[in-house]
Structure 1
Amino acid sequence: MTLYDYSPLPERPALHWPDGKRVAFYVGLNIETFLPDQPSTSIWPMDIKPDPLNHGWRDYGARVGVWRTMDILDKHGLRASVLLNSQVAEDNPQIIKAGTERNWAWLAHGRTNTTLHTGYELDEERRVLTDITETIETATGQRPKGWMGPALTETHNTPQLLSELGYGYVLDWTNDDQPYRLNVPGMLSVPYTVELNDLGVFLRGLTGPDFLQMVKDQYDVLRDESADSGRVMALALHPFVIGQPFRAKYLDLALEYVASQSDVWLTTSDEIATHYAAV
């Protein structure tokens, strides 16, 4: 059995968001932790220990970038959908506290972003996922409903094991502008993005004005296409990337544009999944 069936967009029933809104918009905020002296997302990969250049670049997100990003989200009335490494609860509890005060949605995002979610035997994966889930629930007071693996990784067993743990959706399959049902009872795929993703955008050499125009263009096209059936627009952010001052300026402008639209539903991935499952 395949994980999901092919469903061409023009053949689907119309999807309607609450209050007649046309585009469901959410911010997928990657709040991650990285193990020192191990290879991870890097500017210039180097096999050295310690690695101040790359680890310091990543660590800027937890120390500075997330707080700047948080202020911008607050300014525009946006709750984050947080893709949370469970180890953040141990390493950066102040971030968890600030997010719970803002009623952020908390999704599981593996234990750390140094380790991909691959290569597990069934029982080992069940134990790992249970530990991740319970750690996040204890720290946030909210049992996660959604999953995105570190670097969008899963095993063939992950969706079924997540379903058994009470999850309702995954973000790993970035192949649609609408949610859809997986061939695992009770499980959905909710749109995420590797295209409108600060890590990919800026590490390809694009600039803040490029990012701003991409956000505007993405919204405009999805709005125009959604006259008869709603769409999802995800914006993927990493505090150590978008939280740099010269980029944060353009995030502010981008969110100002989206939040000003009369036909946008400013929401979370949890609320998108819940609405879709109900209709």
Structure 2
Amino acid sequence: MSSSYPDYPLRRYGNDHDRYDWSYSALRPKDGPGRLDVFIVVPLEFFPLTPSGKPFKHPGAMVTPYPDLRHFSTRDYGNRVGVFRILDALRDAGMRAVFPVNGMLLDRCQPLIERIAEAGHEIAAHGVSTDHIHFDGLSEADEAGYIDQTLELFSKKGLQPKTWMSPARNESYRTPDLLTKFGFDTCLDWEMDQVPVAMNTENGPLTCLPNHFELNDFNLLFTKRQSEDEWSDQLVESVNYLAAEAEAYGPRVMGFTLTPYIAGLPFRIHALRKTLAAIEKLNKVRVSVPSLIRSDWLQK
């Protein structure tokens, strides 16, 4: 190994960046008892039949040679059928969620978007499409163009989202600065803590809420091939554990994802309903949406 490999100019105690302050959880003041805020993320995504694959294919992108109708139609099923089962389960549990939407999907699923809005859920921006990945190889102008195009598509529908989630939750080093430049105040890409983190940007703070990939249904049910009961148990256990931490040490926040073409399948809805019912019964737990969670934390 070259002797230059261990050389890293930003190595220092704490963070190797200035996006947010170093904060060692064990040394934080104990502010308990507090509440656990849970937010549920339901991404609505547009998957082109011919993804460019630059700089990589989205984890849910097409797999087999063109035309990959099997995977395309499965994703389309999620937006046509599966998501409505999730909406029904949320309604019956009396819960609201955040729906990050690819801009290119707004015209294709207008009745769905209207139903989501009428039910009081939060609608967030999720980039242009799954084939518009933010990464450091983009020029600043190109990345700004992606965000501007996203907002233009939302504006045509009378929507002005302030919450953002990047396609594939991938960013460039400049993404936070561009998000605040375009008026976003909340981001669901990061998961470096169990409380909201105010990220420093060139245009003011960007509130990052911990959206846990390890609890993502795609990760647990598809990638790791776990059973529906195992998935449900892990979600409920996470909520129970963090609720206990909140009671002992102070308020906590956690987010998890329900993918329409994963969680919305008929044989999984019973597990989702069981999970939501178990969470609803817990004391000191509130299921809310990112904009409200951010507002409440800023007032503390």
The normalised TM-score by structure 1 is: 0.92
- Does residue 58 of the first structure (1) align with residue 80 of the second (2)? no
Aligned to 2:279: 258
Name the CA distance, whole Å, in 2 between partners of 1:221 and 1:138: 43
Instruction: Tell me which structure has the larger Cα radius of gyration.
Output: 2
Amino acid at match of 2:234: M
Q: For residue 189 of structure 2, what is the aligned residue in structure 1?
A: 172
Which residue identity is paired with 1:224?
A
Alignment of 1:121-132 (within 5 A): 121-132=139-150
Aligned to 2:23: 7
Matched, 1:75 2:75: no
Match for residue 160 of structure 1? 177
C-alpha distance in 2 between matches for 1:270 and 1:12? 25
Gaps spanning 5+ residues in structure 2: where?
A: 1-16, 52-56
Pick the aligned partner of 2:270 from 246, 249, 262. Answer: 249
- The structural deviation recorded for 1:54 is 1.2
Q: 2:38 aligns with which of 25, 29, 34?
A: 25
SS of equivalent residue, structure 2 residue 111: helix
Q: Which moved more, 1:254-263 or 1:116-125?
A: 116-125
Residue 42 of structure 1 deviates from its aligned partner by: 4.7
C-alpha deviation, 1:177, in angstroms: 0.9
Q: What residue is the counterpart of 1:45 in the other structure?
A: 63
Query: Whole-Å Cα distance in 1 between the matches of residues 31 and 41 of structure 2?
Result: 22
Q: Aligned partner of 2:177: which letter? A: Q
SS in 2 for 1:59: helix
CA RMSD of aligned residues (A): 1.9
Provide closer, same or farther for how the CA distance between residues 257 and 21 of structure 1 changes in structure 2, counting only shifts above 3 A.
farther
Matched, 1:220 2:233: no
| 1:25-82 per-position Cα deviation (integer Å, ceiling 9, x unaligned) | 1111111111113365459832x11111111121111111011111001111111111
Deviations 1:77-98 (A, max 9, x none): 1111111111111221111111
> 1:200 corresponds to which residue?
219
Contact in 2 for aligned 1:25/1:265 (Cα 8 Å): yes
Q: Which consecutive residues of structure 1, in runs of 5 or more, have no partner in the other structure?
A: none
Tell me, in whole angstroms, the C-alpha distance in 2 between the residues paired with 1:270 and 1:69.
21
C-alpha separation between the residues in 1 aligned to 2:58 and 2:149?
22
Report the AA paired with residue 74 of structure 2. Answer: W
- Within a 5 Å distance, the mapping from 1:111-122 to structure 2 comes to 111-118=128-135, 119-122=137-140
Check 1:220–1:234 CA distance in 2 against 1; reply closer, same or farther (3 A cut): same
**How far does residue 11 in structure 1 lie from its aligned partner after superposition?**
3.1
Total equivalences in the alignment: 274
The whole-number CA distance in structure 1 between the counterparts of 2:237 and 2:245 is 12
**Which secondary structure does the structure 2 equivalent of 1:31 belong to?**
coil
The aligned residue for residue 234 of structure 1 is 255
Cα pair 1:26 1:233 within 8 Å, conserved: yes
Identity rate, percent? 27
CA–CA separation in structure 1 for the residues paired with 2:288 and 2:267: 26
Match for 2:147: what amino acid?
L
Partner SS state of residue 190, structure 2 = coil
TM-score (structure 2 length as normaliser): 0.85
Match of 2:47 in 1: 34
Deviation at residue 162 of structure 1 after TM alignment: 1.1
CA distance in structure 1 between the partners assigned to 2:69 and 2:58 by the alignment = 13
Preserved CA contact (<8 Å) 2:124 2:164: yes
1:209 maps to 229
SS of 2:242's equivalent?
A: helix
